[in-house]
Structure 1
């Protein structure tokens, strides 16, 4: 049975932090004291009673933008990770189990994609597809697909020679059934450890492209975009940059702690 409550201290800490950040991201807009796009003070006004986290580079309330900027991070990074895993899992399972010419063809394509630096390839894809967050999400998924496919292939290949898989084949079960019922459940711990890393990469890649102006466009409230927008005023009002950066860091840390716990099995 799949564990719901982590069994390690680090796993419980990761779960608690993840729930906290997700709660802020999903419900923050309800508690934002001001319109996140409204100018209320001079640029980089320090924290005060009216503006607890001060103002950003356009004089907007940092607290309101922080509370409103988490949904886009969860949505776009999660979607990119989901798309990457959908493609990488399919390719990896087929390549790891088929042991035929299909394996060679699929993995040669993966090797070609792996030969490109991730960020450069992402920028090329995003630029070719046109400016916008949709193209950035798809490009981020394509960039992460090759390493996922390799990890899944290695894990599936190891499981495909086990006795229970050979017994299933001898019983006449279909390839889909063997992959779904025999191989996939037994590589789930490996995937659980990797998915946290992939989500972290999605956050970093999408934030990097947003920084270059190819993804989300102002005045969108987004934690990654806030970091790039307010870096010039770090000395005047550091909270405008540090608070969203800290939330991004906590989110990625929490997912990785939870993934490590899930991959460790019973301890």
Structure 2
């Protein structure tokens, strides 16, 4: 008489994904730092977009004698132009270059870091050693080396420089996060099912990296604002005659004791912008570190 073997126990079903699980952004909204930073940033973005249409004077219009405190809300600059009107016109270039440069740097850095972690072997060695070479150059020095060879940089050149200067730092973070994900069971299972590597990266690896990458994006945006402002201060702007917060600081620094608002106004706006984006990055970082309950 034969004894039938007991049927094998069915494998336990995979844990169900809770569709009500809040996204990283919704979790970050619970953080006071993030909401305050988001509010500051959105207000400044709205100011940069709308303010040029509401300025009392034109961008290059002379409103009175140079370094006068009695003209307009914040006085005049070294050419007699209204400081408040120049501030209202001067943020578009910084905002555009900082945001697009940050996006470019994040895309390049994530691509390099994830490919290095997922590919392993010589891919990892070649990509990360080249990454280390670029990382050894300070961001501002790397930009100055290129810009000194260009008579008048265009916006896209500044965007590329900002993005390339950020990419190595983003790549190092992305690789470190991806190394903890590529060896997990769900990635191995996707590979066993014959999924293409690009699909595994896009569908399995990247979605599990969003919190630390969003925090890094906020931090990179903060650095981008400072970097673009510093380049403007050094005279590297797309249009030397146009209003630019960084360039305004450089143009009016000699009159700081006479008419301080010509310098302090753009400094304060850049500082508030950087504080807002940094608070956003801190809020997302808290979500990433604690997992937010």
* TM-score bracket, shorter-length normalisation: over 0.9
Aligned residues: 265
Give the distance between the partners of 1:255 and 1:249, measured in 2 at CA: 10
Write out the 4+ residue segments of structure 1 that deviate beyond 3 Å after TM superposition. Answer: none
- Choose 212-221 or 109-118, whichever is displaced more: 212-221
Q: Provide, for residues 197-216 of structure 1, a one-character-per-residue CA deviation record: whole Å limited to 9, x for no partner.
A: 21122122222222222333
Cα offset, 1:171, TM superposition? 2.0
Higher helix share: 1
Corresponding residue to 1:172 among 174, 194, 207? 194
The CA RMSD over aligned residues, in Å, is 1.7
Match of 1:81 in 2: 102
Give the distance between the partners of 1:74 and 1:20, measured in 2 at CA: 13
Match of 1:160 in 2: 182
Alignment of 1:113-262 (within 5 A): 113-134=134-155, 135-262=157-284
Corresponding residue to 2:48 among 25, 28, 31? 25
Q: Provide, for residues 105-142 of structure 1, a one-character-per-residue CA deviation record: whole Å limited to 9, x for no partner.
A: 11111111112222222111222354314323222221
Normalised to the residue count of structure 2, the TM-score between the two structures is 0.85
Give the distance between the partners of 1:114 and 1:130, measured in 2 at CA: 26
Q: Does the CA-based 8 Å contact 1:210-1:217 persist in structure 2?
A: no
Corresponding residue to 2:67 among 39, 44, 50? 44
Q: State which structure, 1 or 2, has the greater radius of gyration over its C-alpha atoms.
A: 2
Q: Provide, for residues 131-168 of structure 1, a one-character-per-residue CA deviation record: whole Å limited to 9, x for no partner.
A: 31432322222122111111111111111112221222
Structure 2 unaligned residues grouped into runs of 5+:
1-21
Q: Does the CA-based 8 Å contact 2:100-2:159 persist in structure 1?
A: yes
Match of 1:8 in 2: 31
